[in-house]
Amino acid sequence: MLSPLRGALLFPLQALTWLGNQGTRAIAALVLFGIALPPLGELLRPYVTEAIFLLLIISFMRVDLSALRSYLRRPALVLAATAWTTIAVPALVGMSAHIAHADARAPDLLLALMLQAMASPMMASPALAALMGLDATLVLITLVTSTALVPLTAPLFAYFFLGTILTLSPLALGLKLAGILAGALVVAAIIRVAAGIAAIRRHRAPIDGLNVLILFVFVAAVMGHVLADLWADPLHMLALAALAFAMFFLLFALTMLLFRGSGRDRAMALGLMVSQRNMGLMLAATEGALPGATWLYFAMSQFPIYLAPLLLQPLAERLRAKPRSETDHGLISPASE
């Protein structure tokens, strides 16, 4: 018979295990809870930075070192993915917006789209890739390289496509990103040494459950005002949601098409990463001094980010089941790595 102390310790572990086993269903549920509990969003908003830091610690902690060494020996795929997400994506969005004269027609929306495009991939993307059984190590490496470049690339794209609408501080952003990445790496290394890789792998499910809880902090903070805005102007909010979904799946499809030669499973992992932009960091860089329409678009963009893993899970399972020989026909091929 379990002692009361042991039972008290086992219950949270069992709860996290159950939550982790829910996988993408739990991620989708985050959006609904975030909308339904506005006061909780207000309470959790001050802890968004800490939540992002914890998500990155977990991602570093679970990295597959053998796969990491393999990618570092053949870095072409990582370099190509980094160039695509950091340079090509904001350039394409900016040029498309310029052709459509978005600066005159909808400057607030242009600001939202460019901030989204200029951002690095979301720090939770390795965790979401892991929940879907995709290559989280490839996602994590590309996340780190692209995040390191954003302080240099974002101000350039802001200058070319936004003019005086937005002023970014690359030094402040760079120092913040460097501190988050370095600190998370150190903490993750300590945990790996203290707990051991075998224990981390053995507790995959409760760690996934912890990922879900930490993700909820960010989602609740961003989605807290969505219900009131939807009630006030439903057509406008639905239009923003449609645009957010279109941007997500456009980036996802283009990335899968470009990198399909590396294997469709890895192409899907990269597509998931590229379509999930870290708008939270861009909000921090601008200190939240953004127009209302920009804030609303950022909120609606959370829907595809957290619902897509559930929608795309069947596709991920089919791709993992296919032989590699069926997936080696594309622009970025394994031989080019």
pLDDT tens, residue by residue, 201-229: 888 888 888 888 888 887 787 777 777 77
Q: Tell me: the pLDDT tens digits for 154-192?
A: 888 887 887 766 655 556 666 776 787 788 889 999 999
**pLDDT greater at residue 113 or residue 152:** 113
Contact 170, 106 (CB under 8 A): no
Segment 59-66 mean pLDDT: 78
Based on DSSP, count helices (H) and strands (E) in the chain, helices before strands: 20, 0
Higher per-residue pLDDT: 209 or 320:
209
What fold does the segment set 23-336 form as a domain? Na+/H+ antiporter like fold (1.20.1530)
pLDDT at 282 over 80: no
pLDDT at 270: 93
Q: What is the pLDDT of residue 331?
A: 42
DSSP state of 133: T
Name the pTM for this structure. 0.74
Region 111-137 average pLDDT: 83
CA distance 14 to 325: 40
- Whole-number pLDDT of residue 255: 96
Tens of pLDDT, residue by residue over 235-276, are 888 898 899 999 999 999 999 999 998 888 889 889 999 998
Sign, CA dihedral 127-131-137-139, equals negative
- Longest pairwise C-alpha distance within the chain: 71
Q: What percent of the chain has pLDDT over 70?
A: 84
Paired strand residues for 277: 121
115/118 Cα distance (integer angstroms): 5
pLDDT, residue 337, reads: 35
Of 85 and 49, the one with more pLDDT: 85
pLDDT digits (tens, 9 = 90+) for 10-35: 667 788 888 877 766 777 777 778 77
Task: Name the residue ranges covered by the structural domains of the chain.
Answer: 23-336
Residue 228 zone, left/alpha/beta (φ > 0; ψ -120 to 50; rest): alpha
